[in-house]
Amino acid sequence: MKKPFVNLEQLKEITEQYPTPFHLYDERGIRENARRLKKAFQWNKGFKEYFAVKATPNPAILNILKEEGCGADCSSLTELMLAEAVGFAGEEIMFSSNVTPAEDFICANKLQAIINFDDITHIDFFKQIAEMPETISLRYNPGGDFKISNAIMDKPGEAKYGLTRSQLTEAIKKLQLYGVKHFGLHAFLASNTTTNEYYPELAKILFKTAVELNDETGAHISFINLSGGVGIPYQPEQQPADIMAIGEGVKQAYAEVLLPAGMDDVAIYTELGRFMLGPYGCLVATALHEKHIHKDYIGLDACAANLMRPAMYGSYHHITVMGKENQPCDHKYDITGGLCENNDKFAIDRMLPKIDIGDLLVIHDTGAHGFAMGYNYNGKLRSAEILLKEDGSTQLIRRAETPADYFATLNITDYFKSTRL
């Protein structure tokens, strides 16, 4: 069974100060995990993790990871601004975007971030608006299906991202004419994998491609970015990915492919979000109502606006009824929020202990793509984010929204005069 990183007594103290719902993050777990990743790839002197800002865009979280030696993977103007505000600069920022507006490229270039082109047409688009840097990365899409041991992991050929193999050669030759001296190669071919083989298999593809590109163009490939894709075990019976085994697998591929080609200076980069933060965040909610019709329902003060993944993907998130961890799971519930949408459910037909009104529920593994995917449908307000610090104290790292925040972007002065706004 999954165990929360916080106990009932701690939660009761926290809820006395901050009402539910809220997302809670475990600083100790985040730091320890960042150190494990760094240890797994310490064999590569240029290794760097560029945390996917989109997963958990909070400056307090980013600052923790910066202190642990991570960079920032940004995909939009506001993510670049957030990274800059935290203190990331230059090659500490990887800008991986698609359908990119000019102002985003201009900002990335001003910050001297490493720019990762998603499409060959972006080269001339960029050249018209900014000076071409000496280092550029290219995102590769090999097409077809991505398989490991004949099992289809994903279908890159159906993804909108990246350049084809022939476009990579064409792009490098064009960029060389534009003065680019150093190149990176990037790819993301499968999402949320817990198999230890994903990164090593992806690495082999990228390493072989890098050798080919070097032979064809003479280009200096300075780094290989394995991007994200290493996931977490949302289901309690799933085995987690072994990051030490993954690092060793990439090391073997490096020795087999790059070293014989004399490319022993290639740095390895990663852009992990879910692996870095997922298990170290949870959504804390209170049981508000129970309903007994054709099924038994427990309604929470949280909803899909606080955690979209179950409604959007049918994703499983484990649920702990705090204080009842050792009680039998002998009640079948749908755990719901209060949106006017029937998919606003955190769990369907979930066997749990008997839930009473007022019980605190912990919804696990929301540290990445949890709060970040929130929205305001039905006028629901985004929740607070709280950091459980290493010393056991808490820090409010994002306050909960208020109705004033919801109305702030509207020109409503002629319509609403209420002081409540």
Residues designated as active site? 340
Task: Verify cis geometry, omega within 30 degrees of 0, for the bond prior to 21.
Answer: yes
Give me the numbers of helices (H) and strands (E) for the chain, helices first please: 12, 19
CB-based contact 27:389 (threshold 8 Å): yes
Q: Under a CB-based contact definition with an 8 Å cutoff, are residues 234 and 190 in contact?
A: no
C-alpha angle with apex 50: 46 to 54, nearest 5 degrees?
170
Beta-carbon contacts of 62 under 8 Å, excluding residues fewer than 6 positions away, are: 51, 53, 72, 82, 83, 86, 88
